[in-house]
Structure 1
Amino acid sequence: EESNVQMLLPAACLLQLTEIQDICCEFLKRQLDPSNCLGIRAFADTHSCRELLRIADKFTQHNFQEVMESEEFLLLPVGQLVDIIASDELNVRTEEQVFNAVMSWVKYNVSDRRQHLPQVLQHVRLPLLSPKFLVGTVGSDLLVRSDESCRDLVDEAKNYLLLPQERPLMQGPRTRPRKPTRRGEVLFAVGGWCSGDAIASVEKFDPQTMEWKMVAPMSKRRCGVGVAVLNDLLYAVGGHDGQSYLNSIERYDPQTDQWSCDVAPTTSCRTSVGVAVLDNLLYAVGGQDGVQCLNHVERYDPKENKWTKVAPMTTRRLGVAVAVLGGYLYAIGGSDGQSPLNTVERYDPRHNKWTLVSPMSTRRKHLGCAVFNNLIYAVGGRDDCMELSSAERYNPHTNSWSPIVAMTSRRSGVGLAVVNGQLYAVGGFDGTAYLKTIEFYDTEQNQWRLCGSMNYRRLGGG
């Protein structure tokens, strides 16, 4: 327990019991959370646990938008606050967030802390603020206006913004942008099953803001829908609308927030279908048509708006996961209509042929799958008995699967995707309830962490 570690670690440090120190530090790494990371950081600093301090620092910087809302943040000593906000690695959307965090800290105990405002404010990069925010919010704040050093910092920022021709001569720590996090990619959750019915709703997750926002819904309700991105457009393939199996396709343009239905339908109705893009062609793999489980595979050429059948899989698969790696299309797990599968096969488009590769260690249908760091990750799903939280990954160079740490929840019908270099597991069914939670895989600490919830619970969305 954390309380035990807080007693053990100082004693281990004092007695130079390195092995116990390492065990305690590893435990605290796994406990890191936006609500406690500052306390763990201070604890690591006090006891000279450099690796734990580094990890806690990185966690704090990456999750600053949540950390700044915590009580620990408001209780920080001024020196630790400065250490954090001075970092180039601070993960913020705008410098306005840093200013707001600083002012929240000062106003938490304004009588004692107003004297520290000049020291703290010099580490807020005021020249990077919008002119409106600088003048309307910073410049009009009574605490800022009442201190000469703070007014000087505001004037410096105004000069930087008003005199662009002079900016080369005004460069310094306050004009240097914080190192940009990877931006631009967002995660879409499309359709699925919620509250006993198929849904048409669509929402998107921005990892920078940690917020889910609704976007335009599809024209049809779709659960068991296959979703993939081709040429920056989102395709929703097949599915089931609650009454009928579908072969229709819808295409979403995020620039216009509109769905179009002018895409040619697949040759077969398909739900629980796997969809992926290989060589700028959209593949639809397996699924079921209401009569039988399918081994059919077809691919869509957007230039011709046409689907063409290719070689069928060696096994019929519904609830199959698909992935593209190394020029091959992989079909992973699923069910043959009778029982879940652990078998995996891959398609070579050069020879129009499917070949079996090493099977997973666990039978899985309705699993999530994605390529992350040149490995194929397979998570969750359902075996013969229950929904799964376990996860494993495939290395094509060794043709082998190896287990990784389990997710925090059992998830069948889960979506898995990589966004901005982060692996996310989305929604699903845990055996009792439909889920709207999402979690991401922390590779450094080898654990899954919850990171918010969708607006809708979703099973079998894309």
Structure 2
Amino acid sequence: MAITNDKHFEIAILPKTTLSRMNDFRRDGILIDIYIEAGQERIPCHRNVLAASSNYFYAMFTSNMKEKHDDTIHISNIDAATMSSIINYIYTGQICLSPDNVQSVFEAACLMQLTKLQECCSEFFIHNLDASNCLGVYKLAILHDITDLANTTLNVVLQSFSDVLCEEDFLRLTKEQLTEMLRKDVIVKSENQVFEGLIKWIKYDMDTRQKHLHDLLKEIRLVHMTEKYLIKSVLQHPLIEESAQCRDVISKTMGFWNLCPDKQIEVRDSCLCYQARPYREKVFIIGGKDEDQNFQNNILSCDEIQLSKSCWKYEANLPLPLHDLDLIATALDDSIFISQHKPAIRASTSPMSSNRWIYHLKEKTWKKIQASRLKFRFEFGIAYLEGFVYIIGGYDANMRDVSKVERYNCQTDTWDEVAKLPYVTDSCVAAECNRRIIVIGGHSASRKAETLVQSYDPSTDRWTMINPLTCTINIKDVSCLSLEGKVYVFYSNPDMHVLYYNQNNKKWQELLTCEKKQVMFSVCRYQRCIALIGGLQGDYIDVEVVGSVDIFKPNTAEWKLLPNAAIPRCAHQSVSFLLSNIS
């Protein structure tokens, strides 16, 4: 019989059946050549199976270690139940993990270099992570150098640090571990929580830990506390009062506050930590239009750490006089100031621009603001600074640009006027930065206004000019805000551009340009970044109201797109607040 062709055969199930047969041999005591002893249990095994499954056993049985010739291997740091589960896993590839055994199985898997079992344990940890266990799992991952598990767990620690501070694992941190944690960007309601957590940690073992208070206090970002809390709760705390070094740190913090904004930028003391943490925040969307271009006469809010469409909740209806209007809004300390921004189209609405309200977030109540002297003003800029809302530029009932600058005193519910705007403009945008009001661009009889930047100092009641923008922008599609002492301008022309004012060389610089045609968006601060929310995308024929949130990271000049992170809106306003200020 002549056969000329070869054919390759593979029995895929053979390795599994062979290993299953070896497990039968193990249970029946056939061909046993090694015993693993853990606790009071002596487990029969086969050297070749152990060595093939674990580099730990391979090294033990093939090197010149004494265990190479022993018939019993005693493993002292693994209990009998865990060892039995590990051996069963080696022979069958199956194991049952539970909250009671996962840590011991994980540590045994790390010791025996069972990589796949480590991955199973890591997956179990991640699936069950919460504030009560994330810090312990993080320390475990660091101890055994499991990078992926450490990174994932650290993120949970940072995101839920307010709750982690209440856990026993936090109190058991070493001084070095606590220092490392305080230097990270943990997310908390306020720095007050971090200080209170530090005091708990000190008191947990006062005799050995009190000497570390000064070093650890320097890791608290004291400059971001309120003056009231710093004096009453920190400076007057018994442990702080006992330490001259700690009192000196508080004194330097208060000295920093007393500096003018320009000097604050220059001064850096090694005793103080200046960078803000990404404190827990709540974001609000005010008014605007939906996908069908219908006005939405309400306020939505989201207080989740990670913005997502499902997390937005109804906050309040707008007062009836604000319905179906183009609005402008700004965040106060714990309230939202909302004003009619453009003349009303519908006949039933008063043409006066004195249609202004404050929404109190704690009480969830509305307050009607009394009219200012100038009852007709539209398309103005607005900014809030140290208890005053500034109304800047715009035009009156006769379409004439307004040079008067009015401000509303939130404490006394009164209006007054400050120095007039040097270059009169309407449709300007404004922001507070370093205790000054910055006014950008606008429209006027002279196109020069479109690039002008004007600065108002309340302490002197004077306006000065800042270097103009480097390009002419369409002021209809522009927003600005300040973040950590810098002013950022976002505009679409038609791609999205981001500018910021460089305090060092006193010039505007372009940080980023991206091919993103988006108009009628809003911007607000969000966890030390800037969130660009919603807007219209597309060309003039095919436009879409989007529900995306783009997170702009100033330090790296990068965008992070969250595709379905908000309810679709355009022509809306957005503001954000620290949770500690409104809860």
Q: After TM superposition, list the pairs within 5 Å mapping 1:38-437 onto structure 2.
A: 117-118=120-121, 120-121=123-124, 125=129, 128=132, 167=168, 171=172, 180-181=186-187, 182-194=278-290, 195-196=292-293, 198-206=295-303, 208-211=305-308, 212-219=312-319, 220-221=322-323, 223-240=325-342, 241-243=344-346, 245=351, 246-256=353-363, 258-266=364-372, 267-292=374-399, 293-336=401-444, 341-364=450-473, 365-366=475-476, 367-381=478-492, 387-430=494-537, 432=540, 433=543, 434-437=545-548
> Is 2:549 aligned against 1:438?
yes
Mapped contact 2:396–2:402 kept (Cα < 8 A): yes
Mapped contact 2:496–2:515 kept (Cα < 8 A): yes
Cα 1:192–1:286 change in 2 (3 A) is farther
**Residues 330-363 of structure 1 deviation map (CA, whole Å, 9 limit, x = unaligned):** 1101222775711111112233222221111122
Cα 1:453–1:334 change in 2 (3 A) is farther
Q: In the aligned structure 1, how far is the partner of 2:435 from the partner of 2:359?
A: 26
Cα 1:303–1:419 change in 2 (3 A) is same
Q: CA deviation at 1:405?
A: 0.8
Which is richer in helix?
2
**Residues 198-229 of structure 1 deviation map (CA, whole Å, 9 limit, x = unaligned):** 54222224451313333212112265422222
**Residues 119-153 of structure 1 deviation map (CA, whole Å, 9 limit, x = unaligned):** 544575567179xxxxxxxxxxxxxxxxxxxxxxx
Q: Which amino acid aligns with 2:438?
A: Y
Q: How many pairs are equivalent?
A: 313
Q: In the aligned structure 1, how far is the partner of 2:569 from the partner of 2:170?
A: 54
- Structure 1 or 2, whichever has the larger Rg, is 2
SS in structure 2 opposite 1:449? strand
Identify the residue that residue 150 of structure 1 maps to in structure 2. none
Q: In the aligned structure 1, how far is the partner of 2:171 from the partner of 2:408?
A: 55
Mapped contact 2:287–2:573 kept (Cα < 8 A): yes
**Residues 46-101 of structure 1 deviation map (CA, whole Å, 9 limit, x = unaligned):** xxxxxxxxxxxxxxxxxxxxxxxxxxxxxxxxxxxxxxxxxxxxxxxxxxxxx9xx
Cα 1:460–1:299 change in 2 (3 A) is same
Q: In the aligned structure 1, how far is the partner of 2:328 from the partner of 2:450?
A: 19
Identify the residue that residue 559 of structure 2 maps to in structure 1. 448
Q: In the aligned structure 2, how far is the partner of 1:333 from the partner of 1:394?
A: 14
TM-score (norm 2): 0.47
Using the aligned pairs only, state the percent identity.
16
Contiguous gaps of at least 5 residues in structure 1: 1-98, 100-111, 131-163
The answer to which of 401-410 and 191-200 deviates more is: 191-200
Q: Which amino acid aligns with 2:463?
A: W
Cα 1:299–1:437 change in 2 (3 A) is same
Q: In the aligned structure 1, how far is the partner of 2:443 from the partner of 2:131?
A: 58
Mapped contact 1:296–1:309 kept (Cα < 8 A): yes
Mapped contact 2:380–2:395 kept (Cα < 8 A): yes
Cα 1:271–1:315 change in 2 (3 A) is same
The answer to which of 310-319 and 179-188 deviates more is: 179-188
Q: In the aligned structure 1, how far is the partner of 2:471 from the partner of 2:521?
A: 16
Cα 1:369–1:389 change in 2 (3 A) is same
TM-score (norm 1): 0.58
Contiguous gaps of at least 5 residues in structure 2: 1-101, 103-114, 135-165, 188-277, 575-583
Q: In the aligned structure 2, how far is the partner of 1:168 from the partner of 1:456?
A: 42
Mapped contact 1:271–1:287 kept (Cα < 8 A): yes
Q: In the aligned structure 2, how far is the partner of 1:170 from the partner of 1:279?
A: 39
Q: In the aligned structure 2, how far is the partner of 1:330 from the partner of 1:283?
A: 11
Q: In the aligned structure 1, how far is the partner of 2:433 from the partner of 2:170?
A: 49
Considering only aligned residues, what root-mean-square deviation do their CA atoms show, in Å?
3.7
**Residues 5-27 of structure 1 deviation map (CA, whole Å, 9 limit, x = unaligned):** xxxxxxxxxxxxxxxxxxxxxxx
**Residues 240-286 of structure 1 deviation map (CA, whole Å, 9 limit, x = unaligned):** 45435432212122234x34133223433344332211222111112
